[in-house]
Structure 1
């Protein structure tokens, strides 16, 4: 298994936290974000990790992250300012193709602002369908902490018997939110071929297409996307406010979304 961390963006919602460094080098809970990610991915048996760099790319090195020199490889997204996470995935596609040619059996793709334990990665790696994503069944607890109203900024997430049907829309009914996407995706080699076809179909539109829209596009093309449930124990550090909420929450024993511990009972 190989892993990709999509870390090219500026992280503008993080404000002064990324004025002088990329998102991956923000420290939370005593480690940089990219170190938390790499350690979880390595513990889940990822043999190689590649970080897509862009904003302040020269700073984003294993050593700067507090990792051994060979902890991750890098690919540059030189047009990061005008791109999206999806354009970063398109940028790293040749690296993925070369790795899969060496008989790797799957790819984990992680957003740069997502923190999670190895168990969540393993649950995803054990998925049987060509494309799979994790989703949090305890999302309302985290959204309440982040936004005060669990419906604020929530997106639709509808599945049937573990098959994703809809993701990423503005919900009209609370029943349309059966969980929340967590920024973790797995592609089998077959699933990656489906993904590449969709990336190629989008072409330059990748630059302004978000990841949930991409996933919905796969669903609309009748690609089976498996929805893998987990219960809490993850966060997305999407804003300055998120960062300080999590920093304070880590001081409380037994916090439901502490990514340093896990419970997979859905």
Structure 2
């Protein structure tokens, strides 16, 4: 199993914490987010790890991991960064956002999912989103389920009822799932468009939308609040962020 971590973004909403470092090196409870992710991954037996970097990529060289660089990180989004790591997309692959921290139990739920494409979905997202802002719809995305599959993801919701869980930014692809993903990337590279969005500006959820549109199955791996996303200074300062990270570190045996 290989993990590809998407760690290219500018992290503008975390400034000044990201003035001199990539977002993934912002510290939580005294430890960079990346370090916690690496400990969780390695603790579950995932040792083959690739960093798909961009902004301040030089700060990541000291980790001794392969680093693929998106030189256009300032003007592109996640799919373009994933294309920079295209050679690493083979075999079984975990795809992980760089601005999240998740527990070993959350990762195990994804790893244990038996399907070809598995997406971590937080069923307890609403309370968490309300702690992150007054209007949970401002930064949430649709996610609808039918017959145990994800049939819609990543759209702008009009109501909470359109959100049956929240995408976490953690996915697993089997060998067959990676082949499906690569086929979608090939078509996107040829057309310059992913789910109606220009390739340079496309998000991971656009790739998943394309996979759904082509009749391929996306399956959820359900978790309940065992993660944090740190996208803004407000996220960084929240008590829920500190509490959840402390719980993750305790699960890792690193609570001091």
TM-score by length of 1: 0.85
**Does 1:241 find its partner at 2:227?**
no
Structure 1: stretches of 5+ with no match in the other structure: 64-69, 101-105
Alignment pair present for 1:24 and 2:24: yes
Give the counterpart of 2:214 among 205, 213, 221: 221
- Deviation, structure 1 residue 24: 1.6
User: Which residue does the alignment assign to 1:55?
Assistant: 55
What's the counterpart of residue 66 of structure 1?
Answer: none
- Counterpart for residue 124 of structure 1: 110
- Does the C-alpha gap of structure 1 residues 261 and 162 become closer, same or farther in structure 2, counting only changes over 3 Å? farther
Q: Is residue 149 of structure 2 the alignment partner of residue 163 of structure 1? A: yes
CA distance in 2, matches of 1:140, 1:258: 20
| Distance of 1:257 and 1:83 partners within structure 2 | 33
Matches within 5 A, 1:170-209: 170-203=156-189, 204=192, 205-209=198-202
- 1:197 is paired with a residue of what secondary structure? helix
Query: Matches of 1:261 and 1:87 in 2, distance apart?
Result: 35
Alignment partner, residue 101 of structure 2: 115
Distance (whole Å) between structure 2 residues aligned to residue 119 and residue 251 of structure 1: 18
Name 2:137's counterpart in structure 1. Answer: 151
Q: Does the C-alpha gap of structure 1 residues 17 and 251 become closer, same or farther in structure 2, counting only changes over 3 Å? A: closer
Residue aligned with 2:6, SS: strand
* Shift in CA distance, 23/250, structure 1 to aligned 2, threshold 3 Å: closer
Q: Are 1:82 and 2:75 matched, yes or no? A: yes
Residues 6-60 of structure 1 show CA distances to partners (whole Å, capped at 9, x for unaligned) of 0011111112111111112111112101101111111121121111121111112
Q: Which residue of structure 1 aligns with residue 224 of structure 2?
A: 231
2-structure distance, mates of 1:81, 1:31: 26
Distance 1:86 1:129 in 2: 22
Distance 2:114 2:134 in 1: 36
> Could you tell me which residue of structure 2 aligns to residue 34 of structure 1?
34
1:88-134 deviation digits (Å, cap 9, x = unpaired):
1111111233xx3xxxxx21110010110122112111222211101
Deviation at 1:227, TM superposition (A): 0.8
CA distance in 2, matches of 1:46, 1:251: 25
CA contact (8 A) 1:52 1:92 kept: yes
SS of aligned partner of 1:17: coil
Structure 1 partner of 2:195? none
Determine helix, strand or coil for the equivalent of 1:214.
helix
SS at match of 2:138: coil
Partner of 1:137: 123
Structure 2 unpaired stretches of 5+: 193-197, 252-256
Displacement after TM superposition at 1:141 (Å): 1.3
How far apart are 1:228 and its partner, in Å? 1.1
Q: Would you say the 8 A contact 2:29–2:245 is kept in 1?
A: no
Aligned length: 244
Structure 1 residue matching 2:128: 3-state secondary structure = helix
Q: TM-score, with normalisation over the residues of structure 2?
A: 0.89
Return closer, same or farther for 1:151/1:81 CA change in 2, 3 Å cut-off.
Answer: closer
